[in-house]
Amino acid sequence: MTVRWGVLGAGWIVQTATAQALRGAPNAHLAAVASRDTERARALQPERVHASYSNLIEDDDIDAVYIALANDQHGPWIHEAISAGKHVLCEKPLTMDPATTRELFRAADDAGVLLVEAAWSMWHPRMRRIVELVTSGLVGDVEEFLGTFTFEGVPDGNYRLDPARGGGALLDIGVYPLHALVGCLPDLIDPHIDVERTLGGLGVDLTTRARMTFDQGTRASVVASFAMPESQRLLIRGSEARIQVPDEQAFTSWQIPTSLLVGDHEESFPATDAYRDMFGAVSSRILGGSDWVLSPEASVRVADLVESLR
């Protein structure tokens, strides 16, 4: 069996990574793309091109919808897709606020469809190993977590600089280290928070530095920035061992071999496409399989953290 996917949007991420990943995923088929730029949609070589998102969602030959639109459009189109009985995989951040996130997961549950946030880095084998090491207790009690995702150069006019469109570094890229934090420490809640923010654009955070202290004694630091040199770091220090990503692509490693330092030992991982792994896993779940997918609880917890930090 194969899941027939429709894609909303034909922007940069679809053109460079996710359309190819979808075509290469097991049990997945790229059936249709909807875009205002129909020529760009045709370049992705789907069976059908729709000139409107609504037409794709109403297409009876579509089982699941992948949403790759600007952040402010996620919530409304998730709602439309669920209402049409489609399964949904939506780019992160799933929505712009935790109330909407909870509402949409309830709607998906009521409709009997799957809703998953496409925080693709969580499907990477290295990240799955990090989560396994921490949640199994092999590193001991987690004392310190550090996650950074920073880069320079968001162009003027880009939606990431517009608060009305879901802009800001924390909401757009800070969710990557926050998903890693929640994946590793799913039971930690209600931290004491200290935040420093630098504003720009139309009032969005160009940089957010957050320090969180949990009752169990764990300290977590997260940095997200559109105005700092490129850096993707991930470090977890436990009472028994320390885990560190040795490269500067902790969250966006794509089709290259990677490694992980666990104490004095180095673990290696072959090149993979975590986008493909994500589409394959979600397709399998839609077909009744048991593949791991990001849980609603994780997405809600990240949404709550973002709201608290903002």
> Which one from 87, 92, 126, 160 is the annotated catalytic residue?
92
Cα gap 216→276, rounded to integer Å = 37
Q: Is 86 a catalytic residue?
A: no
User: Which helix (DSSP H) or strand (DSSP E) does residue 226 occupy?
Assistant: none
Apex 183 CA angle, 138 and 171, nearest 5 = 145
The residues annotated with a catalytic role in the active site are: 92
